[in-house]
Amino acid sequence: MPLPDPSWTADAIVAHLRAIGTAENRAGMARFGINTATALGVGNSDLRPLARKVKCNHERALVLWDSGIREARLMAAFTGEPKKVTIDQCRRWAGNFDSWEIVDSVSDLFADTPFWRELVDEFAADEREFVRRTAFAMLAWAAVHLKKEPDATFVSYLPLVEAHAGDPRNFVRKAVNWALRQIGKRSMGLHGPALAVAERLAQSTDKTARWIGKDAVKELSDVKTLERLARKA
């Protein structure tokens, strides 16, 4: 098989993935709680370099996603083009989510669309576990990657974080925690408001909210976190 390049079709990518997947990798994924029902057994250490070689292609990403294969869907997330993604496509893909790993990879793509804020609100209100996780994974990615977004945007989402801090489902509570920590680490201006929410949650009578709060307080109060924020200020 020739070396991967931007001319590769979705079928060529899937054939390559089938050739390099292993049962050992599938077993390792399962230990991390990844849904391996459609997995070929190719790790991200191989997928990300492959994505860089074949480059972004929106139409091909749609075909890869529709294959239903775990690795192909990750490649769709890595090689999709945010400017060509539609909000209906995001909704359709979210309806297919069945693993935290897929959610977190696709959320990075979704967070780079012009309508990401609309999706955060919509997905947070959705009762499906992986769809709600998407809202907070998007917030976490946005806090890290959207450098031009004003801090006020993220302050406005702290009430949403607090409102869903009592959701006991594992994949939701971890994403809510992730979003709160990333917002608090974005800037010195956001650190105080996020820490205040974390401290309030840490005193909650709700077990899930209390765990989220205590964990966020620990990270946001860490000396290394404060030193990084001071350097960025």
Q: What is the pLDDT of residues 108-150, one digit of tens each?
A: 999 999 999 999 999 999 999 999 999 999 999 999 999 999 9
Of 160, 172, 10, 1, the residue nearest 80 (C-alpha): 10
For residue 141, give Cα distances in angstroms to 28, 196, 201, 202. 25, 21, 22, 24
Average pLDDT of the segment spanning 151-180: 98
Q: What is the Cβ-side half-sphere exposure of residue 98, based on CA atoms within 13 angstroms?
A: 10
What's the pLDDT at 3? Answer: 84
Q: What is the pLDDT of residues 157-168, one digit of tens each?
A: 999 999 999 999
Q: Is the pLDDT of residue 155 over 80?
A: yes
Average pLDDT of the segment spanning 213-222: 97
Q: What is the DSSP string of 84-140?
A: T--HHHHHHHHHH--SHHHHHHHHHHHTTSTTHHHHHHHHHH--SHHHHHHHHHHHH
Average pLDDT of the segment spanning 219-223: 96
For residue 35, give Cα distances in angstroms to 8, 26, 31, 108, 165. 27, 9, 10, 19, 25
CB 128 within 8 A of CB 91: no
What the chain holds in terms of domains, given with CATH numbers, is: 1-81 (no CATH), 103-233 (1.25.40)
- pLDDT above 70 covers a percentage of the chain that reads 100
Confidence of residue 233 (pLDDT cuts 50, 70, 90): confident
What's the pLDDT at 2? Answer: 79
Distance of CA 46 to the CA centre of its chain: 19
Q: What is the largest CA-CA distance in the chain?
A: 59
DSSP state of 206: S
Q: What is the pLDDT of residues 28-69, one digit of tens each?
A: 999 999 999 999 999 999 999 999 999 999 999 999 999 999
Distance CA 109, CA 127 (A): 22
Q: Is the pLDDT of residue 195 over 90?
A: yes
What's the pLDDT at 174? Answer: 98
Q: What is the pLDDT of residues 72-116, one digit of tens each?
A: 999 999 999 999 999 999 999 999 999 999 999 999 999 999 999
Distance CA 109, CA 8 (A): 21
Return the higher-pLDDT residue of 3 and 158.
158
Q: Is the pLDDT of residue 1 over 90?
A: no
CB atoms within 10 A of CB 9: 13
Of 9, 1, 16, 178, the residue nearest 79 (C-alpha): 9
